[in-house]
Amino acid sequence: MAYRIAVASTDGIVVNQHFGHAERFHILEINDETKKYDFIGTREVERVCQGHYHHDSSFDKVIDVLHDVHAVLVAKIGTGASQQLESRGLTVYEAPFPIEPLIEKIIADKLWEVDEWQYPTKN
């Protein structure tokens, strides 16, 4: 099976974006059988956070863009946004670190099993 992760990053190297400020997510796909991952692409989104408040319509648009994603890696996320994502079946990791070692850790620890990621993608 394959699992997709959306990474909030401006450079594709470090998880360095707050969920609400992200204008793009880099999508990685992990193959749980081969223990390898591939870069799938970058998806542009409308920022959820507009100043000190959130637009529900913008939040819904981000969720639509991430419709096939199982987990999100962000540098920071508020409790309300995290709860919204989790209520829609996404697992949220607040991890402001370099992407490659994070993905390697996710694979080594099989976090899709430990954290019971929902809706695996069939390849």
Please give the pLDDT value at position 56: 72
- Residue appearing with tokens 């209520």: 87
Burial class (CB in 10 A: 0-12, 13-18, 19+), 108: exposed
Contact (CB, 8 A) for 40 and 68: no
3-state secondary structure 96-123: CCEHHHHHHHHHHCCHHHHCCCCCCECC
Distances (CA, A) of 90 to 1, 51, 87: 17, 25, 7
Task: Give me the amino acid identity at 77.
Answer: I
Please give the pLDDT value at position 115: 87
- How far is it, in rounded angstroms, from Cα 75 to Cα 90? 16
Model pTM score: 0.91
Residue-range domains of the chain with CATH: 2-114 (3.30.420.130)
In tens, the pLDDT along 8-65 reads: 999 999 999 999 999 999 999 999 999 999 999 999 998 888 766 676 777 889 999 9
pLDDT at 119 > cutoff 60: no
In tens, the pLDDT along 83-114 reads: 989 988 899 999 999 999 999 999 999 999 88
pLDDT at 117 > cutoff 70: yes
